[in-house]
Structure 1
Amino acid sequence: MAGVVGTEDLRRPGVFALRTLAVAACYYAAGRLGLLLPLVVEGAMLTPIWPPTGVAVACLLIFGLRVWPGIALGVLLVILHITSLRPDVFGTVVGNTAAPVCAYLMLRRVGFRTDLSRLRDGLALVFLGALTAMLISATVGVGLLRLTDRVGAADFWQVWLAWWVGDAMGVLIVTPLLLLLHRARWPLPVARWKEAAGLTVIACAVVPLATRHESGLLFLVFPLMIWAALRFQLVGSMLCALFTSVMATVAATQEAGPFAGLTRIAIMMKLQAFNGTMALTALLLSAVITEQLNTRRSVEQACQELVEVVAHLTAGDPSRLPPPGATGPARHESEEQRREAKEQRREPEER
């Protein structure tokens, strides 16, 4: 017994170290992806969507609070990729680590479910996990930039807003997708694969047109979002939202389509307004549809159980009742037994 306990004690630090390194690697990889399409706002390099915040919140919700060292290590690696090690870097690490941790604690406090099967879960992720918790990272990060004179006083709020929205967008788009992929059941039915392929082909044709046409056809993506939410719930709608956000960000960084001829501030504001509206629509609409489907299944199950109870009471002898769904001789036999029971009850009355 002592040997078994010792082995477990040796394994726990190893598992913790591997999980920490895995979370840090995922955070760093997401950061490198986010830095591929940066926008410069008043001298500060910002990203319209910061995927690492979504990765951090998803890892906390899946593995628990013990993975926060991996998030801190990932933040440090991303910062070192951008700049050199300075004293203010540690403040940024604290802010970017505290924001997802606070998101996790608030979501846990309100009974958040990782399957996002209720509207309240979607609302909690939006208003607590994204909009409220990410105030910490934006305030700490931009505050340090102001203290080190890398952002002027007149530009503080513009940079702060861009930082906050970018972090919030990472939670709104990346976190639901990772949570649902973690719980997904494969494979899908063949008919669903055909419909999914059709939706993918149409999205690949419509989304580039909507995000790069000079006439401003961004509204064309919302019918696709509704289709994806109705047929594939949150997985489909968030994948569609992610693809659209990436294409819109590419168009914004190249100043093409509806973003042509705008200033950097106007481009950032327009892009973030579009991405935020799209992500909120996809998340809340899918949550409502999923909740309605779950309610319908619960009602159907309750009706089925009620039918079985009525059948038991009608038969008079639950032990002789055939199992639900039985057909053929067993069903005819139960009907004959009910007729005999009725005739036996009538005989004393006639006498």
Structure 2
Amino acid sequence: MAVRRTGLAGDGLRLALVAVAYYVSARLGLELALVHGQVTPVWPPTGIALVAILVFGVRVWPAVAVAAFAVNLPIGPNPLGAACIAAGNTLAPLTAAALMKRAGFRLELDRLRDAAVIILLGALTGMAVSATVGSLVLVISGSVPGSNFAQTWAVWWTGDAMGVLLVAPFLLSFWPQAGRPALAWSRQIELAALLGAVAVVTFVAFQNPFRLEYLVFPLIAYAAVRFRLRGAAPAALIASGVAVWAAVNGTGPFAEENLLQKMVTLQGFNVFVALASFVLASYVDTRDREEQMSRLYTAARMSNEAKSEFLRTAAHELRSPLSVLGGYLSLLSGGDLGNPPPKWVGPLEILTAKTWELNRIMDDLLEVSRLDGAVIPGREKLDLRRVVEAAVERARPRAGLAGGQISMKIPDERVEVVADASQLGHLIDNLLNNALIYATRPARILVRLSLEGPCAKIRVDDNGIGIPEGMREAVFEPFRRGQQPGFENVPGTGLGLYISRELAIAHGGTLALQKSVVDEGSTFTLTLPLAVAEGSARA
């Protein structure tokens, strides 16, 4: 109950703050009214309402509606008209927020895409709702002649849109952003001095009849580059505020202009400083982010190259002592140095098996280092039957040690592919090795080679433990191992299927798990394109 009351109190306080901010900013905006005491060149509440809905959600709409009605009641044509105008003022930011969220707008406003979204959807599209409703109410009530509808709509729309373009970015500049530290005191002082300079330059520019108002742009651009949105948004708001004050008081370039000319001059300046500020800030943020990503990519690539070089070096350095070890083990096991004592037979078999496993790990490490550098097979036309037969012959001794059997079905005619024989052999070795590791004793493995259209297919069937549904793509990821009970400590690197798929892709083919049934077995299918016949190639 206490939590519920705390939540209600927090929501009530949030609604009150939004309503007060909307009402106070509206009263200040009405002091700058240029058309019928109702339409202003900049309507700050639209920016406040839009940000409130974006940050707190649509549940704050009652605060916007109540505040808008309170603002319009004393100045509207009648209570009903004030209620209708308030409804339009509420629907506009709701519509804008919905469109912006659908477009993927981010509150950080640090992408050019976000700048485009707030301009096109937040300001230009969303604020057309309030302008249309408000202008219709004024015309229907007789407060504005029907002939002035278009002019009233344009002034209302530009005022609401400018509220979004100037106030919303200013409020969003306070939104916490990951990786953006708080400004140090020295930079805060620099920013304050810069904003003061913007105010002074804008004031001086609008105190003389010459068109010097755009002299403030370099300062706004500097604020955007130096401080991003935290500098650009307040600089634009200050410049716009000074310009509106000058227009209301008829100073500088506004002295000899009529109402329409004032609106054109003022809104042209406001649009310029608004867009130039946060669009430039978003561009700088985007550029910095791309440069950072480029640096990270370069560092990652160099690290990957160093890893690959280490793997190649380690594998080559370890291969020599392993070859020597394997050679001596072969001499001992084969009796070339005399028949070994009976007690040595078991340990020699274990040492031989482990040496074989280490050799396979070295092969995998070398293959991974080659894959990282992009596989470019040494292509030649070859008979795929011979590659399959050689791989099966290499695997049969190991299968025989465990009482297993590897069968083979291949066609009588040649099956020609363009491939690297060594890499293709390694690929099939990996499939057979995988089948032997996870087979249910005694292992029963069937290798089938067939022609299917323009492709050759090699299927490896086993009677192994199978692969669960959720793991059927994961087994092709590097360092992923079978997790079934009893197989947790199976030797290997978890790179075999990953390497095999990469080699298949490098040969223009595919490797897939065709089917798998837990506790019954699996079928892996390798598909390779057939070599194009010479006659077909010439044709």
TM-score (norm 2): 0.56
Partner residue in 2 for 1:139:
132
More strand by share: 2
Could you tell me which residue of structure 1 aligns to residue 96 of structure 2?
A: 103
- CA distance in structure 2 between the aligned counterparts of 1:88 and 1:7, rounded to whole angstroms: 42
Count residues with an aligned counterpart: 322
User: Post-superposition shift, 1:61?
Assistant: 0.8
Q: Which amino acid aligns with 1:101?
A: L
Tell me the equivalent position of 1:277.
272
Separation (CA, whole Å) in 2 of partners of 1:341 and 1:176: 57
Deviation at 1:277, TM superposition (A): 2.2
The higher-RCO structure (CA 8 Å, 6+ apart) is 1
Structure 1, gaps ≥5 residues long: 1-5, 318-337
Contact persistence 1:44–1:151 (CA under 8 A): no
Which residue pairs with 2:73 in the alignment? Answer: 80
Could you tell me how far 1:54 is from its partner in structure 2? 0.1
Is contact 2:22–2:49 with CA below 8 Å preserved after alignment?
yes
* CA distances 1:130-184 after superposition (whole Å, capped 9, x unpaired): 0111111011011100011110122221111111000000000111111121226
The residue aligned with 1:13 is 8
The structural deviation recorded for 1:251 is 0.6
Question: What TM-score, normalized to structure 1?
Answer: 0.84
Residue 35 of structure 1, CA deviation? 2.1
| Alignment partner of 1:166 is 2:163 | no
Letter in 1 for 2:268: A
One-letter amino acid of the structure 2 residue matched with residue 116 of structure 1 = L
1:56-95 Cα offsets, whole Å, 9 max, x none, are 0001111111111111111122223545861111111110
Give the direction of change, closer, same or farther, for the CA distance of 1:299–1:186 in structure 2 (3 Å limit): closer
* Preserved CA contact (<8 Å) 1:38 1:45: yes
Runs of 4+ displaced beyond 6 Å: 340-349
Structure number with the higher helix fraction is 1
Aligned with 2:306 (options 300, 303, 311): 311
What secondary structure sits across from 1:46 in the alignment? coil
Cα–Cα, structure 1 residues 13 and 189, in superposed 2: closer, same or farther, change >3 Å? closer
- Of 26, 46, 49, the residue aligned with 1:53 is 46
Offset at residue 194 of structure 1 (A): 5.1
Range moving further from structure 2, 13-22 or 111-120 = 13-22
In 2, Cα distance between equivalents of 1:71 and 1:312: 59
Q: Does the 8 Å CA contact 2:44/2:164 hold for their aligned counterparts?
A: yes
Instruction: Please state how far the C-alpha of 1:256 moved relative to its aligned partner.
Output: 0.4
Q: Do residues 218 (structure 1) and 245 (structure 2) align?
A: no
Contact 2:199 2:242 in 1 (8 A): no
Q: CA deviation at 1:279?
A: 1.0
**Structure 2 residue 207 is the aligned partner of structure 1 residue 207:** no
CA RMSD of aligned residues (A): 2.6
Per the TM alignment, residue 249 of structure 1 is displaced from its structure 2 partner at its CA by: 0.5
Does the C-alpha gap of structure 1 residues 162 and 120 become closer, same or farther in structure 2, counting only changes over 3 Å? same
Percent identity for Structure 1 against Structure 2: 37
Aligned-partner Cα distance in 1 for 2:30–2:101: 30
Aligned residues of 1:62 and 1:179 also touching (Cα < 8 A): no
Cα contact 1:88–1:144 (8 A) shared by 2: yes
For 1:293, the equivalent position in structure 2 comes to: 288
| 8 A Cα contact 2:47 2:163, kept in partner | yes
In the TM superposition, 1:19-58 aligns within 5 A as 19-39=14-34, 41=35, 43-58=36-51
Letter in 1 for 2:154: L
* Aligned counterparts, 1:257-268, within 5 A: 257-268=252-263
Equivalent AA in structure 1 for residue 146 of structure 2 = A
CA separation in 2, counterparts of 1:191 and 1:343? 56
**Structure 2: any 5+ residue segments left out of the alignment?**
324-539
